Amino acid sequence: MKNLFSNLSKNNWQGLTTFIFLLSFCSSFGQEKQQDSTKVEKLDEVLVKAVRVKEKAPITHSNVTKKEIAKRNLGQDIPVLLNFLPSVVTTSDAGAGIGYTGIRVRGVSPLSTNITINGIPYNDAESLGTFWVNLGDFASSVESLQLQRGVGTSTNGSGAFGASINVLTDAVSKEASGEISNSFGSFNTRKHTVKFSTGLLNDHFEIAGRLSNISSDGYIDRASADLKSYFLQGAYVDGNTLVKAIVFGGNEVTYQAWNGITAEQLREDRTFNPSGQYTDDDGNTQFYDNEVDNYSQDHYQLHWNQKYNNNWSTTLGLNYTYGRGYFEQFREDDEFSTYGFEELTVNGETVNTTDLIRRRWLDNDFYVVNATANYKNDQLDMIFGGSFSHYNGDHFGEVIWAEFASQSDIRDRYYDGNSLKNDLSVFAKTNYKLNEKLSLYGDIQVRNVTYKTYGNTSDLVDFEIDKDFTFFNPKAGVTYELNNSNSFYFSYARANREPNRTDFESDNDIKPEQLNDFELGWRHKKGNFVFNVNAYYMLYEDQLVLNGALDDVGNSIRINADESYRLGIELEAIIPVTSKLTLQPNMTISSNKIGEISVPINGEDTTLTNTDISFSPEIIAANAIVFQPLEDLQISLLSKYVGEQFMGNTENPESKLDSFFVNDLNITYTMSFRGNEESQKKPFFKSIVFTGLVNNIFNEKYVSNGYFGSFDFEDTDSPTGISTGFFSGFYPQATTNFLAGVTLIF
């Protein structure tokens, strides 16, 4: 705990001071009134009402509760905890689910998946990606989340372009509680968490918090992670008012593992990590010990929910996020020109290369204002509002050591750039119950994005972008309830999305992408038996598809595809075999195609038609066999199958990832303490929860992610004098490994 707080910067302490002030401000609302715990919970849910949908809405979605997350929450990131939801494929750079992780839904890139936390956008404003590694153990502070597949409902931040995940953090607790959680596992993995809640003090106030530390050596060599994080919440509740002040964030130090390995290395040494590799003066291979990513991120949120009467309510959300950090690299024999160094003459010889250590920095500020108003009666439920965000980010590089430093001084910036991005959206959503069987859904959003950059890139190339986009995103749907057990729905949604920073760096004229999403579904529920079917057709124009290659910092390179589509069907069920045994299968069968794409091969542009979209398997299936022989004991066998997929859009055999079938075993046992009724003594512990997780129990050697690209070289035997070569990289996932934990709840 001491180490954690020693990492808090001056800005953190200023934020905590602000938090205490806000909490004191909230106390001025105090009135003596008994609170209803159900009402408190509903007020919490209002935080995400604008970005979530209800159970019977014509939007394809999955809900995950705090209880479900807790069963496997032993340190792995949120994407890995969502691995068994329909149409989901997850991956981990370090191989074991801790550190840099990613999630794809229906083959949709993480860059196109919108993430919100309490309605506040979390995606990085420039890359549009989501870096869960910056919020270590965030799952321990999640009350619930909803994964929407397809365009979904209008949301804040970068438009959902195939999927969205909205997260609600811990709800206000009526009763005081404490929790100490420790887990250990393979690859020297450790997770230590302390949580507390004061419960409602004087029936109005709650203070709750969490401190966490996660560390792991990783499955891949040296792919270590050291994640420190915190969560602190102050809440005021009074009848129809809820005010929350929340501060959360963390610091991550991870050894880089984003380079992947070659096919040959995958066969011979699948845990090999080329990051940090260099040759010393004696010709021996060495690895730089500080080839790390070091980043801190702090979030300050203030939420005010107000219910005025049975019809009207409003929400206001404010956010400030401060992010800063770097990744450090040892570079061997780099050209002086890469850093703007001048040539040297040493002992009569010209020197224009040097060994050096560099840091590439990000330093950014992100501000958000959300506001909504909700009107509802027996037939109508309407939400309208807007969101505005402002991003200011610095990108710069420093050489902190060099064998030959030329004319440079320490802390000189060899490149320096700034980016400004404003995002304004307004929306109106309506659910209208036409009669007992028919409900209508309408959703209109207008979004304006401005993006400006100044300075140069890490390649010392001038980078000046001045773009302005305005998008119109309409959505509509209908739900028909045949009877109490069966309902049908159909929806149409349109989405537009701007390119990200990397897209502009690779092509200044790259175009925004557009998606028309059609969803048709049937939901059946009778008793404990549930069966859902959903068919989708996602028709793209100028879709930004991954070409499989990475830039020099591990970002995926994307290109526009004129026309492409995803056509699929999703099946999911909950089948109670007996009172103690339940099956929970799901399957997605899809076709994901690019109508036409032009690629350079052997010096000539070659047009390919009807090729598979990269990272889009035709089959994704999962199943959970849940056996509960006792009330407090649950044993689950979790299975995941992912069909073969390509890392590029040319269906080149060298870019293929083989299918894989992975099984995990999850066991939870809760030891409850009820105390002695005669003596009226309360036990010190309410319960002790034992959790075990064995991942990949059949030791499958599989790869869930990678990259693929091409390069041209001179070839006198070729008719054009140029031939094309290919390169690929693979991210192997861990073989059999385990995690085990104990949680003390009091």
Residue 471, pLDDT above cutoff 50: yes
Whether the predicted pLDDT of 740 surpasses 70: yes
Angle at CA of residue 676, ends 672 and 677, nearest 5°: 115
What is the predicted pLDDT for the residue at 676?
A: 63
In the chain, pLDDT over 90 holds for what percent of residues? 76
Is it the case that residue 721 has pLDDT exceeding 70? yes
Task: State the pLDDT confidence band at 7, using cuts at 50, 70 and 90.
Answer: very low
Output the pLDDT for position 521.
97
CB contact at 8 A, 400 and 379: no
pLDDT score, position 727? 85
Looking at residue 677, its pLDDT comes to 59
pLDDT tens for 492-505 read: 999 999 999 989 98
Give the integer Cα–Cα distance in Å for 105 and 119.
20
Task: Report CA-CA distances (Å) from 92 to 70, 219, 258, 596.
Answer: 20, 10, 10, 31
Q: How many helices (H) and strands (E) does the chain have?
A: 7, 39
pLDDT, averaged across the chain = 90
Residue 375 CB contacts under 8 Å (≥ 6 apart), including other chains: 311, 312, 381, 382
- So what's the pLDDT on residue 204? 94
pLDDT band at residue 26, thresholds of 50, 70 and 90? Answer: very low
What confidence category does residue 558 fall into, taking pLDDT thresholds of 50, 70 and 90? Answer: confident
Whether the pLDDT of residue 606 is over 90: the answer is: no
pLDDT band at 28 (very low <50, low <70, confident <90, very high): very low
Say yes or no to pLDDT of 239 above 60. Answer: yes
The tokens for 23 are: 């909490």
Asked whether residue 176 carries a pLDDT value surpassing 70, the answer given is yes
For 308, other C-beta atoms within 10 Å of its C-beta total 10
Q: Give the pLDDT mean for 536-551.
A: 81
Q: What is the pLDDT of residues 132-160, one digit of tens each?
A: 999 999 999 999 999 999 998 888 887 78
Give which of 482, 471, 466 is closest to 444, Cα–Cα: 471
The 10s digit of each residue's pLDDT in 268-279 is: 999 999 999 999
Mean pLDDT over 311-325 rounds to: 96
Summarize pLDDT for 89-127 with one digit per residue, the tens.
999 999 999 999 999 999 998 888 999 999 999 999 999
Largest Cα–Cα separation, the chain: 95
